[in-house]
Each structure stands twice: as structure tokens, then as C-alpha cells.
Amino acid sequence: MKYIAGNYDVAVIGAGHAGIEAALASARLGVKTVIFTINMDAVGNCPCNPSIGGTAKGHLVREIDALGGEMGKTADKAILQMRMLNLGKGPAVHSLRGQIDRRKYQDIMKHKLELTENLELRQAEIVSVEKTEDGFILESRTHAQYITKKVIIATGTYLGGRIFIGDVSYEGGPDGMFAATELTKSLVNLGLPLRRFKTGTPARVLRSSIDFSDLEAQQGDEPPQHFSFETEGDLENKVVCHISWTNENTKKVILDNIHLSPLYSGMIEGVGPRYCPSLEDKIMRFKDKERHQLFIEPCGLDTEEMYLQGMSSSLPEGVQSAFYKTIKGLENAVIMRPAYAIEYDCVDPTSMKATLEFKDIKGLYGAGQFNGSSGYEEAAAQGLVAGINAARAVKGDNEFILERSGSYIGTLIDDLVTKGSNEPYRMMTSRSEYRLLLRQDNADERLTPSGYDIGLISEERWQKYLKKTELKAKELKRLKSTTLSPTEELNNILVSRETSPVASGVTLYDLLKRPQLSYKDLAEVDKDRPELEPIIIEQLQTEIKYEGYISKQKDRIEQVRRMSEKKLPEDIDYREIAGLRLEAQEKLNKIKPLSIDQASRISGVSPADISVLIIWLSSKKGGK
């Protein structure tokens, strides 16, 4: 006889970045939640880069925070160095990136799980998920059984994990952990369309074995910005990162040994990430390139491990040591942990709805790398949405779906469930048609009202947000109504900034439209300006300078919204619609889009097919 070890509303399998956000959101929304991890010491681990944020990923972190998630707040507490990327480009692509103390980040996240009401953190390897009439029965490797109404699978790279280093291959998870070897069979029996993906990580080397004397230092920004809109007080940059480059000798070592790479010998079957390839992959794909950049980054304050960003590899450890030693600064490098590739099972995300619930298995959700994405930030974003929807389903509330026009999280999920991905999906600013509107500085304006309505934003934070928006609106009104006379002092400022002097009165608003001028530049002639948070000033400057472009994007969103209102029945068989091409029928039946707008983004559905759908939908509605 088997005894029930626990009875829950929501069970989360996996305690990485996706699982953590899913479990916290679910529990905070008032439903009894459990989160399982194979090893309690791996909760919130950063098995690859010890950093949070980056290009487009920084947007995701700010959005997670605006909705009430934890990644940004925890990263701020574990920060080692903060930098804003892409400052030489427009504000749409400015992205915050933080080097973090990975162990401190883990400790903070684990403790948050332990302290959260309605949440249990349990060490157990779940090997079976059985669907029942009322929910699911989960079974662990030790034959403990758990009953739950909803399940969120957030297995990361553990599911069917296999490590590759040269000609050596064995079952394993990241950082020397055990793999989840039994669960795959159960998920296949449930009917999930699984596949194999691959990723990798560089070696960690001993700090004292690195010669920093001739390396380019990479300092943090001063003052460092926060990820979280709730973080108060100043952050501190505690470390310096460094830059080096590969060379022709590096290339020679790799090319001479490329036959030993499991990526090229055929041992690895999984598809790897296009935008984060291994060093041998970069050498093979870009043979004419003379050198490749790498970043040498600390893993924490209380460790001597240094991470070599841009140097992932699955070559034998001896070859790794040889090519590292060809690089300036690493001539005497001592490897503490070798680089490796890891292959794992994941699911085709087109089998899911925008809620991240599987279309054919009610109550089962997926999040993170299990859904075919890559990156901590992409995982956390999906986990948050899956956790919100699982909890709301338990409570009988409406589904929570983010539009791609309103957030990068919405873009990420829409891309996954509509287009799918034949490689690990990575968020980039170029994936959004609306990136000037979806800036990281205004993530709170776009999403905090939703977070408050859902119940993840506290009343105290909500009142602070309302105060901030009030101050911003008041300042915008002042800038439009304050006119400056054409004084010598003003014109000296304008000429010094290489913009034309004025001969008549001009508003502060019109001056700020000039690309050469900033809010700070006008301080000497704007004596009555109030004290404002830097984030408010950043938002105002951007919205004033890019007013025309922003207006055009808003018009485009309104057009798309009208298309989105053309809802498609979920039970439709597209084979019955005359005029649709065969490929379109197959793709539409697989994805089951919610609207004409979503259908238009499906690969294999042409504009002609969309016209057929619009005509069919109009005739159907007209016949009612």
C-alpha cells in the first residue's frame, strides 16, 4: 500500500529560475503549492554565466519585477557589477546586465522559497506524472506519491540530461548534479511531443592563474542602476571584469582537434543555440574571422573561480587546456571545472496555449528550457506566467495572457507557442515589432497595473507607483507650459551642445525634442524643476524625443488589436475551410490560433490564407 506524501493545488517540478518564479507566484496567489528539486543545493543555480540580464534579457528582468516576480530584487541583492549595454544605440535597446555572486543569489532565492506562505520546498526526483479525473498523481524515485490539481514542468536541462566532454558521455545534469532520467518516459506516455536540444558552458579557471596585467578592464557603471523598481538605496560595483581575445594559435589548436569534438563526430544529436555557440562551432562557422572575444568574469566574492564567457566547448579537457593557454592572460590558466556540453529533453511549445498550459492535457503547464528556450531570464518569465495561470485556474479565475504588443514576455511566449523553435530560443530586441514602446525603463507603466490586479503587487508598492506616475504627468505638463526667453545664457548652452540658438521664446518640451539636448543640460536655465527619480527623467526624455515614432507604433498596435478582436473558434477543423492551402490547414490545426492576428504569425500561413480566413469568419458571423 502506498501512502500519499502530500496533497496540493499546484506542483512545480524543478527549482531553477522558471520553477522558482512559478512556485512563488502560485503560492502568493493563495493556493497550496509544492516545488520539487532533485538536489536542495541546486535551487536557483546559475550553471552557466553568473549574470542576470543583458541585451533584451534586461527587459525581461524589469518586466518580471513589474509583475511582482523576484529575479530583479534578488539580482540587486547579489550584485557584483552592473552595466547598461548598448548605450551607443537608441533607448529601445538599452539593456541592464548584472554580474552576480551566484552562491549569494542561490541562498537568497532558496530562503525566499522556504519563507513563503502556502509553499513547500521538497527534495525529490519526480519520475512519473499520471493524469487523473481531478488532476494528477506524481510519484518520486522513492515511490512517494503526491496528489495535485495542476502541474508545472520546469525541468531545465536536467530532463534526460547527458554530459559530453570529448569522447566521454554520461547521464548527468549541470554542475555535476544527477539527471532526471525516468520522467521522460512518463511524459511521452502522456502524449507530449518531446525532442532533444543541446547547450554548453565554458570552463571555470583559478583566479590566481590568470595574468590580468595586459587585459582590458571592464568597469561597472557609476552609479549602478537597479533591476527592481522596489530596490531602495545605492548599489555598489564590487568587481572588475576583463576582456581578452582568441588568436590564430587558438584556432589552430581547435582545428587540429575538431575531430575530437562530439559536436562534429556525431555523438551529439541535440540542436544547439545559434546565438550562443561553442568556441569550436564559432571557429568552424567563421573560419575567416581572425579572433573571437571573451570575457573573464568572477563567480562570486568568496570563490576564486572565474568564468570565461564566450568560450563554451565540448572538446576533451586536455585540448581545452591547450587552447586556453594560447590566449593572452590565460597562458598559465588552471582549469577548476572543465567546459562541457549537455543534451536534454524538451517539448515542442506549439503544443501549448499562451497560458503555457498544454492544449490537450488540461492542468499541465510547461516553463523555461523545457519549453525550448534558453537563458535564465526567458525561463523566469515563463515560470511567472505559468505560475499565475495555474493558480488562477485553481481559483476559477480568468486566464492571464500577455499581448506581444505590450511586453517582451508576451513576445517570447507568443513566438514559442505560435512559431515554435527548432533550436533553443533566445530573446533579442529585434524579435519585437514594438521595441520603442517596450523599453526597460517603462516596464512598470506597462505591467505593474496587471501585477496589482492579479494580486502580486502589494498595496504599498501600488501607492508608490501611483505617486511616481503622478509626478511624471505633472512634470510633463510643466515642461510643455514653461517657456524660456532667448537669453544669452540659454543660447550659450545650445551652441555648446552644437544645436541652433533661439531668437524667440521656446518651451522646455520643444528644447528636449532636440537630439543634442538632455534634461541635465537645461538645469542652469530651468531653476524651478522638481527633484525627480532618474527613471522618471529617463522616461520623459525618451518619450519626448521619440514622440513621433512612438505615436506610429501605437497606431500599429491599434491596427493589430482590431485584428486580434477577430477571434477564431477553438474547435474549428481548418480542413473544412475551402481555399486554404494544405500546409496552412495543417499548421492551423496544430497551433489552433486564438485570433486572425495570431494566425498571421504562424510559419507556413500566407497572407492569402489570412484573407481566406477573414472572409470565412465574416461569412460565419454574418450567418448567425
**Domain shared by 499 and 542, yes or no:** yes
For the chain, the domain total comes to 4
Identify whether 121 is part of a domain. Answer: yes
Residue where a domain stops, chosen among 292, 321, 341: 341
All three cell numbers of 201:
558552458
Identify whether 62 is part of a domain. Answer: yes
**Domain shared by 332 and 379, yes or no:** no
Neighbouring residues of 44: CB distance < 8 A, sequence distance ≥ 6 = 15, 16, 17, 20, 74, 105, 106, 108, 109, 110
Neighbouring residues of 77: CB distance < 8 A, sequence distance ≥ 6 = 104, 105, 108
DSSP 535-583: HHHHHHHHHHHTHHHHHHHHHHHHHHHHHHTSB--TT--GGGSTT--HH
Neighbouring residues of 137: CB distance < 8 A, sequence distance ≥ 6 = 128, 129, 130, 145, 146, 147
Which CATH number does the domain housing residue 229 bear? 2.40.30.260
Identify whether 462 is part of a domain. Answer: no
Neighbouring residues of 512: CB distance < 8 A, sequence distance ≥ 6 = 479, 518, 519, 522, 540, 541, 544, 545
Residue among 612, 440, 462, 412 at smallest CA distance from 96: 440
**Domain shared by 112 and 15, yes or no:** yes
- CB distance 184 to 130 below 8 Å: no
* C-alpha radius of gyration, the chain, whole number: 26
All three cell numbers of 195:
525532442
All three cell numbers of 158:
536536467
Which CATH number does the domain housing residue 605 bear? 1.10.150.570
Please tell me the distance from the alpha carbon of residue 303 to that of residue 206, in angstroms, as a whole number. 9
What are the residue ranges in the chain where pLDDT is below 50? 623-624
Q: Which residue has the cell 526597460?
A: 440
**Domain shared by 142 and 84, yes or no:** yes
- CB distance 379 to 612 below 8 Å: no
Q: What pLDDT does residue 540 have? A: 96
CB neighbours of residue 431 within 10 Å = 16
CB neighbours of residue 491 within 10 Å = 15
Which CATH number does the domain housing residue 111 bear? 3.50.50.60
Identify whether 152 is part of a domain. Answer: yes
**Domain shared by 353 and 332, yes or no:** no
H/E stretch holding 309 reads: strand 305-309
How is residue 397 annotated by DSSP?
P
Identify whether 472 is part of a domain. Answer: no
Alpha helices by DSSP H, 482-546: 488-496, 508-512, 534-545
- CB distance 260 to 316 below 8 Å: yes
Which CATH number does the domain housing residue 492 bear? 1.10.10.1800
**Domain shared by 36 and 105, yes or no:** yes
Q: What pTM did the predictor assign? A: 0.93
φ/ψ bin of 579: left (φ > 0), alpha (ψ from -120 to 50), beta (otherwise): left
The domain of 606 spans 565-622
All three cell numbers of 367:
516553463
**Domain shared by 385 and 509, yes or no:** no
Identify whether 573 is part of a domain. Answer: yes
3-state secondary structure of 457: coil
Distances (CA, A) of 524 to 471, 488, 490: 21, 12, 8
Please tell me the distance from the alpha carbon of residue 63 to that of residue 60, in angstroms, as a whole number. 5
**Domain shared by 498 and 436, yes or no:** no
Q: What pLDDT does residue 611 have? A: 86
CB neighbours of residue 470 within 10 Å = 10
Neighbouring residues of 382: CB distance < 8 A, sequence distance ≥ 6 = 18, 356, 366, 367, 368, 371, 373, 409, 412, 413, 416
**Domain shared by 504 and 597, yes or no:** no
All three cell numbers of 236:
555598489
Please tell me the distance from the alpha carbon of residue 450 to that of residue 50, in angstroms, as a whole number. 30
Q: What are the tens digits of pLDDT across the range 510-542?
A: 999 999 999 999 999 999 999 999 999 999 999
Identify whether 474 is part of a domain. Answer: no
Residue among 393, 402, 205, 203 at smallest CA distance from 316: 203
**Domain shared by 365 and 306, yes or no:** no
Identify whether 560 is part of a domain. Answer: no
DSSP 130-164: EE-SSSEEEEETT--EEEEEEEEE--TT-BT-EEE
- CB distance 177 to 342 below 8 Å: no
Distances (CA, A) of 137 to 1, 132, 345, 597: 15, 7, 22, 37
Residue among 345, 341, 367 at smallest CA distance from 354: 367
- Which residue type sits at 565? E
Residue where a domain stops, chosen among 454, 473, 493: 454
**Domain shared by 358 and 406, yes or no:** yes
**Domain shared by 99 and 223, yes or no:** no
3-state secondary structure of 444: helix
